[in-house]
Amino acid sequence: MGVRTLGGLGERGLIARLRPRLASRGDVVLGAGDDCAVVGPPGAGEELVLKSDPVREGRHFAAGEDPRRVGRKALARVLSDFASMGAEPRWALVDFSAPQSFPVAAAEALYGGIDELARRWNVAVVGGDTSMSDALELHVFAAGAVPRGSAMTRSGARPGDAVFVTGELGGSYESGRHLDFDPKLDEGRWLRRRGVRCCIDVSDGAASELHRLADASRARFSVRSELLPASAAARAKADPVRSALRDGEDFELLFTVPSGLAAAMERDFSASFPGTPLSRIGEVGEGGGVFLDGAPLPDSGFDHFSSD
């Protein structure tokens, strides 16, 4: 019997069904299925990087949340995907939907939050759309660039690589970090220049992102629970390892490096980014799947169509 609803199919099931049917062109370098799309206008020394992402009241922020933080988060989520490609974001379009009763001052505060982060990263907000809806919703589309052929992707991991993650994992909702995080754009570009080929940002939870890397790279990812950098908010919970692996919206960078280069990369990264913790959490091997302390780790991260 076929699955009839999105809830039954799940987000990844839906994407797997739709992806092969999407229209394409010869200048698409990397289509749907990575953190950003990469497209290559002929003759340029760089490729264009494209990404869009929504935030919705009740899903990505609570009703009544400070509108400045909501606006900031909407752009920050997209910039985090640019970070994971090692790309430079340049232009953004913002679609804004809100009820008729939404205060003008709140709309201005919301755009103030977008503006603050856009200026910080030299991103121009060049338009978009405003419309009416039942609940507050922001859709941000951004475009930028990466030197030709150098974007970090989900498929770049190879057996023998070491697995790293920046920052700390878990408890992002409890700590409020999901609203106030800084996208790791400088770190992402540093890693790309350093020759890192495989990277993803942690939006749906580290376990889920490890599966995305394992699937795209057709490799086996093995991580050790005692090496996971659980945040203070995660450590305050009943199961800190589960929190670190499943909570989501950490917006850290998860990447791999050939093990022979790992020690030098780790040393130089820490010298360049003394405020950004870096943890070596495991390794890439032959095969497939994700393993935690030697046992298979189920792929049950955040699903946008599931009810839990």
Which residues are at the interface with Mg ion (CB under 5 A)?
35, 81, 201, 203
Helix, strand, coil fractions of the chain, as percent rounded to 5 = 35, 30, 35
Q: Closest CB to Mg ion among 83 and 94? A: 83
Residue of 252, 165, 162 lying closest to 203 (CA atoms)? 252
Q: Closest CB to Mg ion among 109 and 216? A: 216
Query: Cα 161 from chain centroid?
Result: 21
Q: Closest CB to Mg ion among 111 and 255? A: 255
Query: Cα 83 from chain centroid?
Result: 8
- Which two tokens mark 242? 């589960």
- CB neighbourhood size of 85 (10 A): 30
**Ramachandran region of residue 249, left (φ > 0), alpha (ψ -120 to 50) or beta?**
left
Q: Closest CB to Mg ion among 68 and 201? A: 201
Report, in Å, the least distance between residue 211 CB and Mg ion. 13
Q: Closest CB to Mg ion among 201 and 250? A: 201
Q: Closest CB to Mg ion among 152 and 297? A: 152
Greatest Cα pair distance in the chain:
59
Report, in Å, the least distance between residue 294 CB and Mg ion. 28
- Which two tokens mark 280? 């070596």
Report, in Å, the least distance between residue 63 CB and Mg ion. 25
Report, in Å, the least distance between residue 132 CB and Mg ion. 29
Report, in Å, the least distance between residue 84 CB and Mg ion. 6
Helix ranges (H only) for 247-289 are 259-272
Grouping H, G, I as helix, E, B as strand and the rest as coil, residue 68 is: helix
Query: Residue 32 gets which letter from DSSP?
Result: B
Report, in Å, the least distance between residue 203 CB and Mg ion. 5
Grouping H, G, I as helix, E, B as strand and the rest as coil, residue 22 is: coil
Q: Closest CB to Mg ion among 252 and 283? A: 252
Positive or negative torsion for Cα 207, 54, 60, 167: positive
Report, in Å, the least distance between residue 42 CB and Mg ion. 28
H/E stretch holding 106 reads helix 104-120
In the bound state, the residue with its beta carbon closest to Mg ion is 35
Report, in Å, the least distance between residue 251 CB and Mg ion. 9
Q: Closest CB to Mg ion among 98 and 253? A: 253
- CB neighbourhood size of 140 (10 A): 26
